[in-house]
Amino acid sequence: LPAFYAYVVFLSVSNLPFRLQKLKEMFMSKFGSAPKFYVRAPGRVNLIGEHIDYCGYAVLPMAIEQDILIAVEPVKTQVVQLANTSSLYLDFSTSVNNIQINKNKPQWHNYFLCGLKGIQEHFGLNNPTGMNCLLDGTIPPSSGLSSSSALVCCAGLVTLRANGKTLSKVELAEICTKSERYIGTEGGGMDQSISFLAEEGTAKLIEFSPLRATDVRLPSGAAFVIANSCVEMNKAATSHYNIRVMECRLATKLLSKSKGLDWKKMLRLHDVQTKLGVSLEEMLSIVEEVLHPEPYSTEEICKCLGISLEELRSQILSQNTQD
C-alpha cells in the first residue's frame, strides 16, 4: 500500500486486504482504470464528555474498527466523480471549481464536498485536481459513531494527496472540523480529532485551544461493547443537534454580558471560564448565580443582550435554529 496510509492510523481490521481488493475491482469496473491510492478514516465512540467539545471542554473518545475507505485516481479533467459501493447512495459528479453544498439536503456526497472545499480554501487552490473516487463504508450511518465526520476527514485527506500538499494530523483535524460546518452542523472537533489522532490500544484525552491529544491507557482486559439501537439520527438533517449548541452559545453570551466581558466575541463556555480565570467549580456557581432554571424566551434573551430579534437570528443563531 502507498506510504500515504501513514496519515490515518490503521487499527486491527482483519478483512482490510479483502476489502481493498474488492474495492480495486469495483473501481476498475466503474472507471476503467486502477486507483492510484487509498485513504481510510475510522469512526469513533465517546467514553466521556458527550456534547461538550463545542463548548470548548475536553473529551475522551477512542477510534473503532469500522471506517470509511476511499479508492482514488487523480484525473486531468477538473471534475470529481463520486461513487459508492452501496447501491443506497447514488453517483455524483461536479466541477472542482464550483463546489456547492446543499445544507437542506445532507446527502452523502455533500460530506465529501465539505472536506474537499476545506482543503481547497486552506491552500487557495485555483486549479485543483479532478478525481475519480469510490467509497466503501462500514460505520452504520446515522448511528452516532461519526460516519459523516469520517467521510469529511477522508475527503480532506484525499484532496490533500491528490493535489500534492501536506499537513500535520492536527492541522488536518482542525481544517476538517471547520469544513464540516459547511453542511450546517456546528460541531466542536472531537470526531475529526480522534479520526486523525487515534492510536491502537489507547483512548485519547482530546483538549482544545490549542488542539492536543494525550494517551489514556485502557484497563488491561477491559472490553467495550458498542451496541447499535438501529435508530438512525442524521444530525445535519434536523435542528436537534444545533439547538443544544445554540443553547450553550446563548448561555455563553448571557454569562459574558453579566460579567462585563465582550460578549459578542464569546462563543464557548470554556472561553468565559478562561477569561474570568475561575475553576470549573467556580464556573458552576456563576452559572447558578446568573442564569435562571426556567426556560428563556427569545424576547428575554434579546432584552438581556440589548439586541433585536433579527440580530439574534442573523448574528448568533445557526440557519436551522433561527425560528
Give the dihedral sign, CA 128/131/137/142.
positive
**CA-to-CA distance for 225 and 265, rounded, in angstroms?**
41
d(CA 299, CA 101): 33
3-state SS assignment for residue 144: coil
Q: Which three cell numbers stand for residue 30?
A: 466503474
CA atoms within 13 A on the CB side of 266: 26
Task: Give the residue numbers annotated as catalytic, written as ranges.
Answer: 191
Cell numbers representing residue 172 in the block: 488536518
Reduced to 3 DSSP states, what percent helix, strand and coil does the chain have, rounded to the nearest 5? Answer: 45, 20, 40
CA atoms 174, 271, 294, 258: torsion sign: negative
* 164-169, Cβ contacts within 8 angstroms, sequence gap of 24 or more: 165/119, 165/123, 169/7, 169/196, 169/197
